[in-house]
C-alpha cells in the first residue's frame, strides 16, 4: 500500500473540484491533491459542447469544455498534484482517504482537510418505476450526450424524452440537429423541470412538443426498444384511465432528475439533508465531520456552473481556515427554509464567522410571477429583494453577513 500526505485533498475534478483546488493554492496551502476517477480533468463539462457557460464568471458564453479548460490551464501551471484514473474507495477516520489506480495499486492518503466534489448522477428507469422489458435503447440523457458528443455515435433514430430536466432539453435540440426525430418531451409534473431559456431555445425553436402532466408508464421491445406507452396524469400524478397512447420509438431518453453522488459521504458518517440529499453544510462549507468540506452538486444540485465554481472556492477557503486552526469546535445557528422555499444551502451559520459574509443558494417550491425574498433574524429583516418569474428549476443566490439564526422566505 502506497502512503501519501497532503494538506488538502479534493475528490472530483469537475468545475467544483477544479475551482476548489485553485482557491486552496491561492490561500497558501502548500500541498493540494486533486483526485479524479476519469482519465481527464473537467468532469461532466467534457461532454457539454453547447454554450451558455461562464456568463457570470467570464462575461461571455462558453461551451462546457471551454469553461473547464480555463480552469485546467491554471491547474497545470499551479503546482497542484493530480491523480487521474483514480477511484476513491472510502474516507476513513482522521481524514484518511483510501483510493486505488492501476499505476499505484491501493493508496492510503493522510489529509489535513478533504473537499468532496464528486458531483451528481442521473436517476434511472428503475427509480421512476417504468414497467416492461429492459431492451437496448433506454438511456439517461447524460449517456446520450456522451454517445453523441464524445463517442460520435447515434443511439437511435426516433426518440421520446421522459422528464424536462435541462440535460434532456439540451439533448432534444442536439438529437434533432443530428437527424434523430424527437417525438416529444413528457413531464409528469404540471410545470417544466428545466430552465425557461432551455424550453424556448431547445423545444420551441425546433417545434418539439412538451407534454405536461403526462408520463411514460410502459416500455415495449425485447432486444431493441419498439415503443413506449404514455398516459396523462391528474393533480395527484396518478394515471388517468383511457388516456394511454402508444408512441413508436427506438430510443427513450431519461431526464428525470439528478441526485448528489454521496456514497462516500454516507460511508464517512456525514449528516445528509433529506431535501437536498447532500451533506448539511455550515457557513464555511464544512460538513458534520470536522475537516471534511463539500462543494458543488455533491452538496445540492445547482443550475449554473458559475455557482458550482463559486461554492468550490468557498469550500477551499473553509478548508484552508481549518488547516490554520481558525475553525474551532462547531457552534451553529440554524438556517431555516420558510414559506415557499424548498431548501437553503448552507444550512447552518457558524457563530465564530459573524464578521464575514456567506453566499447562500436556494430553490423555491412553487413557481410565482413575483415575490419578495425575505431573510430575517427574529423580528429583524436583514434582506428584502423583489424577484420576478421565480421557478423551482432556477436557483437563487444572495450574500449576507453570517450573524444569528436565519429564516429565508419567498412571499408572493
> How many domains is the chain built from?
3
Q: State residue 342 phi and psi, 5-degree precision.
A: -75, -50
Query: Are 103 and 137 in a shared domain?
Result: no
State the pLDDT confidence band at 150, using cuts at 50, 70 and 90: very high
Spatial distance between the Cα atoms of 134 and 396, rounded to a whole number of angstroms: 39
> What percent of the chain is predicted at pLDDT more than 90?
85
The whole-number average pLDDT for the span 127-152 is 90
The larger pLDDT score, comparing residue 195 to residue 335, is at 335
Query: Are 114 and 137 in a shared domain?
Result: no
Query: Are 264 and 385 in a shared domain?
Result: no
Query: Are 262 and 117 in a shared domain?
Result: yes
pLDDT, averaged across the chain: 94
- Bridge partners of 260? 120
Residue 72 corresponds to which cell in the numbers above? 485546467
| Helix (H) / strand (E) containing 258 | strand 258-260
Contacts of 332-339 with C-beta under 8 Å, sequence gap 24+, read 332/282, 333/404, 333/405, 333/406, 334/405, 334/406, 335/360, 335/405, 335/406, 335/408, 336/405, 336/406, 336/407, 336/408, 337/275, 337/362, 337/408, 338/407, 338/408, 338/409, 338/410, 339/409, 339/410, 339/411
Residue 153 has pLDDT above 90, yes or no: yes
Report the relative pairing of strands 380-390 and 368-377 from DSSP bridges. antiparallel
Residue 125 has pLDDT above 80, yes or no: no
Query: Are 293 and 358 in a shared domain?
Result: no
Which pLDDT score is estimated for 284? Answer: 94
State the pLDDT confidence band at 401, using cuts at 50, 70 and 90: confident
Residue-wise pLDDT tens digits, 177-235: 999 999 999 999 999 998 888 999 999 999 999 999 999 999 999 999 999 999 999 99
State the pLDDT confidence band at 88, using cuts at 50, 70 and 90: very high
Which pLDDT score is estimated for 355? Answer: 58
Residue-wise pLDDT tens digits, 235-269: 999 999 999 999 999 999 999 989 999 999 999 99
> What percent of the chain is predicted at pLDDT more than 70?
99
Query: Are 325 and 284 in a shared domain?
Result: yes
| Helix (H) / strand (E) containing 25 | helix 15-26
Among 330, 363, 385, give the residue marking a domain's end: 330
Which pLDDT score is estimated for 385? Answer: 95
Residue 156 has pLDDT above 60, yes or no: yes
Three-class secondary structure of residue 86 per DSSP: coil
Spatial distance between the Cα atoms of 337 and 408, rounded to a whole number of angstroms: 5
Among 221, 256, 291, give the residue marking a domain's end: 256
Q: Answer yes or no: are the C-beta atoms of 200 and 170 closer than 8 Å.
A: no
The whole-number average pLDDT for the span 375-398 is 93
Query: Are 185 and 232 in a shared domain?
Result: yes
Residues 6+ apart with CB under 8 A from 307: 56, 361, 395, 397
The whole-number average pLDDT for the span 128-137 is 85
Q: State residue 47 phi and psi, 5-degree precision.
A: -105, 5
Residue-wise pLDDT tens digits, 8-61: 999 999 999 999 999 999 999 999 999 999 999 999 999 999 988 998 899 899
Which pLDDT score is estimated for 329? Answer: 66
Query: Are 5 and 95 in a shared domain?
Result: yes
Cis peptide before 346 (omega within 30 of 0): yes
State the pLDDT confidence band at 131, using cuts at 50, 70 and 90: confident
Residue 387 has pLDDT above 60, yes or no: yes
Which pLDDT score is estimated for 327? Answer: 87
Residue-wise pLDDT tens digits, 343-356: 999 999 988 755 57
Q: Answer yes or no: are the C-beta atoms of 302 and 393 closer than 8 Å.
A: no
Among 219, 238, 256, give the residue marking a domain's end: 256
Query: Are 154 and 210 in a shared domain?
Result: yes
Query: Are 222 and 150 in a shared domain?
Result: yes
Query: Are 344 and 320 in a shared domain?
Result: no
Domain that holds residue 381: 331-412
Q: State residue 49 phi and psi, 5-degree precision.
A: -90, -5
Tell me the CATH number at 196.
Answer: 3.50.50.60
Residues 6+ apart with CB under 8 A from 362: 337, 341, 342, 343, 344, 345, 395, 396, 397, 408, 410
Helices (H) and strands (E) in the chain, counts: 8, 26
Query: Are 60 and 180 in a shared domain?
Result: no
Spatial distance between the Cα atoms of 345 and 397, rounded to a whole number of angstroms: 10
Amino acid at each position: 500500500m502506497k502512503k501519501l500526505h497532503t494538506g488538502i485533498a479534493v475528490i472530483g475534478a469537475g468545475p467544483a473540484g477544479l475551482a476548489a483546488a485553485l482557491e486552496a493554492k491561492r490561500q497558501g496551502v502548500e500541498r493540494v491533491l486533486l483526485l479524479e476517477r476519469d482519465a481527464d480533468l473537467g468532469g461532466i463539462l467534457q461532454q457539454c459542447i453547447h454554450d451558455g457557460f461562464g456568463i457570470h464568471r467570464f462575461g461571455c458564453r462558453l461551451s462546457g469544455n471551454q469553461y473547464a479548460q480555463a480552469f485546467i490551464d491554471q491547474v497545470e501551471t499551479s503546482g497542484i498534484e493530480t491523480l487521474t484514473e483514480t477511484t476513491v474507495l472510502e474516507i476513513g477516520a482522521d481524514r484518511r482517504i483510501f483510493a486505488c489506480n492501476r499505476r499505484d495499486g491501493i493508496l492510503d492518503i493522510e489529509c489535513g482537510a478533504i473537499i468532496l466534489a464528486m458531483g451528481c448522477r442521473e436517476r434511472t428507469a428503475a427509480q421512476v418505476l417504468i414497467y416492461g422489458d429492459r431492451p437496448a435503447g433506454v438511456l439517461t440523457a447524460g449517456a446520450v450526450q456522451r454517445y453523441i458528443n464524445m463517442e460520435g455515435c447515434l443511439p437511435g433514430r426516433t426518440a421520446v424524452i421522459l422528464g424536462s430536466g435541462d440535460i434532456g432539453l439540451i439533448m432534444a435540440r442536439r438529437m434533432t440537429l443530428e437527424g434523430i426525430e424527437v417525438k416529444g418531451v413528457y413531464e409528469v409534473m404540471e410545470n417544466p423541470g428545466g430552465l425557461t431559456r432551455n424550453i424556448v431555445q431547445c423545444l420551441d425553436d425546433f417545434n418539439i412538443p412538451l407534454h405536461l402532466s403526462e408520463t411514460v408508464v410502459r416500455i415495449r421491445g425485447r432486444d431493441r426498444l419498439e415503443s413506449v406507452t404514455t398516459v396523462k396524469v391528474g393533480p395527484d400524478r396518478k394515471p388517468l384511465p383511457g388516456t394511454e397512447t402508444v408512441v413508436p420509438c427506438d430510443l427513450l431518453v431519461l431526464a428525470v432528475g439528478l441526485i448528489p453522488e454521496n456514497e462516500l459521504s454516507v460511508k464517512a458518517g456525514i449528516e445528509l439533508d433529506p431535501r437536498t440529499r447532500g451533506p448539511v453544510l455550515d457557513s464555511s462549507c464544512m460538513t458534520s465531520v470536522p475537516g471534511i468540506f463539500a462543494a458543488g452538486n455533491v452538496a445540492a444540485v445547482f443550475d449554473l456552473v458559475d455557482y458550482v465554481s463559486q461554492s468550490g472556492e468557498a469550500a477551499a477557503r473553509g478548508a484552508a481556515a481549518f488547516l490554520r486552526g481558525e475553525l474551532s469546535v462547531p457552534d451553529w445557528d440554524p438556517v431555516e427554509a420558510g414559506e415557499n422555499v424548498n431548501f437553503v444551502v448552507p444550512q447552518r451559520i457558524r457563530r465564530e464567522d459573524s464578521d464575514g459574509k456567506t453566499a447562500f443558494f436556494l430553490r423555491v417550491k412553487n413557481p410565482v410571477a413575483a415575490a419578495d425574498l425575505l431573510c430575517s433574524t427574529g423580528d429583524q429583516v436583514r434582506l428584502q429583494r423583489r424577484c420576478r418569474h421565480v421557478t423551482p428549476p432556477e436557483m437563487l443566490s444572495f450574500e449576507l453577513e453570517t450573524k444569528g439564526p436565519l429564516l429565508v422566505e419567498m412571499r408572493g
